[in-house]
Amino acid sequence: MDQQLPHVVIIGAGFGGLTAAQSLKHAPVRITVIDRTNYHLFQPLLYQVAMAGLSPAEIAAPIRSVLRKQKNAAVLLAEATGIDFDEQTVNLRDEQHEEKLRFDYLVLAIGGRTSYFGHDDWEKFAPGLKDIDDAVEIRRRVLLAFEAAEKDYDPQRRRELLTFVVVGGGPTGVELAGAIAELARFVLARDFRTINPQSAEILLLEGGARILPSFPPDLSESAQHQLTELGVKVRTNAQVTNIDKNGVYLGDEMIRAATVIWGAGVRATAMTQSLGVELDRAGRVRVEPDLTIPGHRNAFAIGDMTLFLQDGKPLPGVSPVAMQMGRSVARNIQNDLAGKPYEHFRYFDKGNMATIGRKAAIAEIGKLHLSGFIAWLAWLGVHIFFLIGFRNRFAVLFNWAWSYFTYQRGARLITGRKMNLPS
Amino acid sequence: MDQQLPHVVIIGAGFGGLTAAQSLKHAPVRITVIDRTNYHLFQPLLYQVAMAGLSPAEIAAPIRSVLRKQKNAAVLLAEATGIDFDEQTVNLRDEQHEEKLRFDYLVLAIGGRTSYFGHDDWEKFAPGLKDIDDAVEIRRRVLLAFEAAEKDYDPQRRRELLTFVVVGGGPTGVELAGAIAELARFVLARDFRTINPQSAEILLLEGGARILPSFPPDLSESAQHQLTELGVKVRTNAQVTNIDKNGVYLGDEMIRAATVIWGAGVRATAMTQSLGVELDRAGRVRVEPDLTIPGHRNAFAIGDMTLFLQDGKPLPGVSPVAMQMGRSVARNIQNDLAGKPYEHFRYFDKGNMATIGRKAAIAEIGKLHLSGFIAWLAWLGVHIFFLIGFRNRFAVLFNWAWSYFTYQRGARLITGRKMNLPS
């Protein structure tokens, strides 16, 4: 790479950061993409890893492979710990070194993490789903609960082991609840001798009046109906007041459950606090209309770590928003290099969908409201189309076809050094 | 299951234990298979997981799925901690409980673990390859070494990061060394910007006079030649005297290397010491000719945890031995139930093969000595044929075909909570 070219440093290789890097392929810049992991994660299918439908490698692609042919881009495995806007440097850290990297343009795309709304002590009882390690941990807990139930002859304890509570009726919570129901009803159905996995109770708790509140009411209703068909009990207006090793508390009511999964909140990573700019309550950066960080004309922030109001409403934390932001930032960097002004960002909403299970989903595409099989087909098509890399696309399609026809799951491994059975 | 039937308890669901259980499918017994993990591992392909060629789920099948249709078999996820032969009970433990399980017949098939020949302190510097967690750890170390080298501009340190030492010239060591060479020369070749992965140095150290000493000399020589072609430096008569964080010591000589992998020794798990019977130096049980444990007529031991002399030579610790032993024990249990005497075990050797890389292998089938492409095809055919479960077989074949034509690897993920770059 030509060291004389302006240096674009992109932190985070999620949908936003990677799209920004790829959109600068032909720009007269050199690019460094920094990430804490060596892979780009196809987050919309992460719940499939948590439910043993897919292997981690099937929804992740090495960042180096994705950018192999883009000669103006380098990849560094490291963690960004801070930014010095005056010196135009990023502090990088790995286990061995700290170092500083100079930038001419900075793109922050570090994503979000699970938010427990101030109750971080709930995390160990109710893991969230943000990365592969989370997904493997949830897979482990769910599969171990069935294993422990098979060995436990105490009916009360067995009932607790076979009770699964998912907190949060957003897309993640709905996907997880539907997937647990399918696992229990179909995949594991005939694998045990002393328990009947189909007797498992799956509860989806939503604090608000309806699940999937970002969708129109008729689709929320359809989703709830489809979940009920699958055997999930949906409870709305259910405000969780505490979670501990015994289960979930809703005010005076207590639900005993060995497995609780958190699908409720997302907030920005702690790193945003070091930026010295105004943040919202979830720690997100209130970016300017051109996606720059207030007060810093050559530094942008995109994706889940940002708060961007469009027509008075915040944009949702979904991958199409992050990708469109990445493209806009790439255009603005090129505008700037050409002496042209920055464009303002505007999100073009192509539609919104949520999956519930096999042949069950909802989709809102403009004025069109779809649900059931047709929505699921649309969801499947879009997700396979956008999966990074031909190989993954093919492997995922094969795995889905396989489990569609056989109800087998390939990734039902309980891994990790310790044999932590649920307490 | 009919609780009146004689109870066969099988500990370990490796090749030996699983074969024993399956061979008792039509016997008038009830079977309990106990394992510390929930999956059966196809160990001969474990090195492919360590080298990012396959995902863990592709070489592992849930024990419950394998035995789903065998109605006289139940599966328990637990660890066996001891045997009381007088009371005919097994002590089981998980994180919560201890319990005793009564048996009428016992089959011990608990396999082996990595042996450092009395130097257990070497383990943290040079992990062995026995289970999926080992494989993921080795994958992590190898991939991280390349990542760290990309960031390190000190030539001496970069050389250490790009030096990979495999200790032990048996089948595991040969597979690992060949696979690292392929990873460096083909898979990663164009993915880095400041290093050339092809410049990595891969060393295979063998203490004896030739690698793969269980094969005839001409095949050892061919294997060494094939490894050299791949870029592996093979050193025989290389006695490792120490391993620490800086590298490997051969007497006065020191080889600086960030990544050392142990492919040398196998011994029985510590549990054999609690049996109160005679063990060999590797902790293996010297079983009777009918595979019973000396002094215990209804307790058998099979597979890697045993020492069995045939024609004066110990049988090797390979899956065909374990599987044939499993079948023999199943027949003997049925003989005993029918009032017939036990048969003596005799291993029928169908051949022996070791793989080196793409189109590179050796095979000894009776008097036939094969090497190169034809041996590799034989190896491929046998391994795909024996892979448990149609789905895995198909997924592995697809992955192999894919990486054969593209030199892409699908499972190049560095996972785990911490970003441990090599020191």
Q: Where are the domains of chain B?
A: 7-36+78-111+269-337, 115-264
CA separation for the pair A166, B305 (Å, rounded): 44
For the full predicted model, state whether its pTM sits above 0.90: no
Alpha helices in B152-246 (DSSP H): 155-161, 171-182, 217-230
Catalytic residue among B58, B137, B175, B288: B175
Q: Which contiguous run of DSSP H or E holds residue A136? A: helix A132-151
Q: What is the pLDDT, as a whole number, of residue B394?
A: 67
Task: With cut-offs at 50, 70 and 90, classify the pLDDT of residue B246.
Answer: very high
CB contact A60 to B (< 8 Å): yes
Chain A (373-392) residues lying within 8 Å, Cβ to Cβ, of chain B: 391-392
CATH class of domain segment(s) B115-264: alpha beta
Query: Higher model confidence: residue B42 or residue B416?
Result: B42
pLDDT given at position B390: 60
Residue to test with chain B: of A34, A96, A183, A196, most B Cβ within 10 A: A96
Q: Are strands A352-357 and A360-365 parallel, antiparallel or unpaired?
A: antiparallel
What are the pLDDT digits (tens) for B298-333? 999 999 999 999 999 999 999 999 999 999 999 999
Say yes or no: do domains A7-36+78-111+269-337 and A115-265 share a fold: yes
Q: Does A148 touch chain B (CB under 8 A)?
A: yes
For position A416, what pLDDT does the model report?
Answer: 64
Q: In this complex, which of A38, A75, A76 lies closest to B414 when CB atoms are compared? A: A38
The interface predicted TM-score (ipTM) is 0.84
Could you say which of A76, A144, A395 has the minimum Cβ distance to residue B410? Answer: A395
Pick the CATH number of A7-36+78-111+269-337 from 2.40.10.10, 1.10.287.1770, 3.60.10.10, 3.50.50.60: 3.50.50.60
Active site residue A175: yes
Specify the pLDDT at position A420.
43
Instruction: Report H helices in A260-386.
Output: 319-337, 373-386
Q: Which two tokens stand for residue A86?
A: 């005056």
Tell me the pLDDT of chain B averaged across its residues: 91
Please state, as a whole number, how many other Cβ atoms lie within 10 Å of the Cβ of residue B1: 15
Tell me the C-alpha distance between A43 and A15, whole Å: 9
**Residues in B touching A148 (Cβ below 8 Å):** 94, 96
Contact of A184 with A197, CB cutoff 8 Å: yes
Mark yes or no for CB contact A148/B96 under 8 Å: yes
- Most B CBs within 10 A among A46, A55, A69, A146, hence the mutation to make, goes to A55
Q: What residues contact B297, with CB distance under 8 A and at least 6 apart?
A: none
The CATH class given to the A115-265 domain equals: alpha beta
A366-404 confidence digits (pLDDT tens): 899 999 999 999 888 888 877 766 566 767 777 777 666
Which stretches of chain A drop beneath a pLDDT of 50?
418-423
Round to whole Å and give the CA distance between B138 and B46.
11
Residues 6 or more apart in contact with residue A311 via CB below 8 angstroms: none
Q: What is the torsional sign of CA A333, A339, A340, A342?
A: positive
Dihedral angle sign, alpha carbons of residues A227, A228, A229, A231: positive
Cβ B14 vs Cβ B43: under 8 Å? yes
Q: What is d(CA A353, CA B73) in angstroms, rounded to the nearest whole number?
A: 43
Tell me: the pLDDT tens digits for B55-77? 888 888 889 989 999 999 999 99
Nearest to A419 among B36, B75, B97 (CB): B36
pLDDT score, position A419: 46
Does any CB of chain B come closer than 8 Å to the CB of residue A416?
Answer: yes
pLDDT for the residue numbered B423 = 41
| Nearest chain A CA: its distance from B409 CA (Å) | 9
